[in-house]
Amino acid sequence: MARTIEKKKKFKEKQVPSIIIGKRKKTLFLVGFFLLILGYFFMAQPPVYGFMSLHLAPIILIIAYLIIFPIAIMIKDKAPQSGD
């Protein structure tokens, strides 16, 4: 009887995954979102063949899509420590 209770407790402890999004992930997603808005804003500026439209905007968008967002998805937040 005691063994089944211990097994149930262990099973319940292992079953609960942490799905809370931490502060680091939120910050990275917000930085990525800001860079996307900035990149598309620069791309929409009037001189179509200007420096911002042709060079700066694509670089900012590549950084946002290929660096910031994947890092924000893959990064692991630290587990919160409980003070007993």
pLDDT reported for residue 69: 96
Separation CA 75–CA 19 (nearest Å): 13
The answer as to whether 26 is a domain residue is yes
pLDDT reported for residue 76: 85
Write out the residue range of the structural domain in which residue 63 sits.
20-74
The answer as to whether 3 is a domain residue is no
pLDDT reported for residue 77: 77
pLDDT reported for residue 84: 47
Average pLDDT, the chain: 84
pLDDT < 70: residue spans in the chain: 1-19, 79-84
pLDDT reported for residue 54: 95
Separation CA 64–CA 61 (nearest Å): 5
pLDDT reported for residue 49: 93
The answer as to whether 38 is a domain residue is yes
The answer as to whether 13 is a domain residue is no
22 and 77 Cβ atoms separated by less than 8 Å: yes
* Cα separation values, 36 from 3, 13, 23, 57, 84, Å: 55, 40, 20, 9, 43
Place of tokens 């292992």: 14
Separation CA 52–CA 36 (nearest Å): 14
The answer as to whether 35 is a domain residue is yes
The answer as to whether 46 is a domain residue is yes
Q: pTM of the full predicted structure? A: 0.69
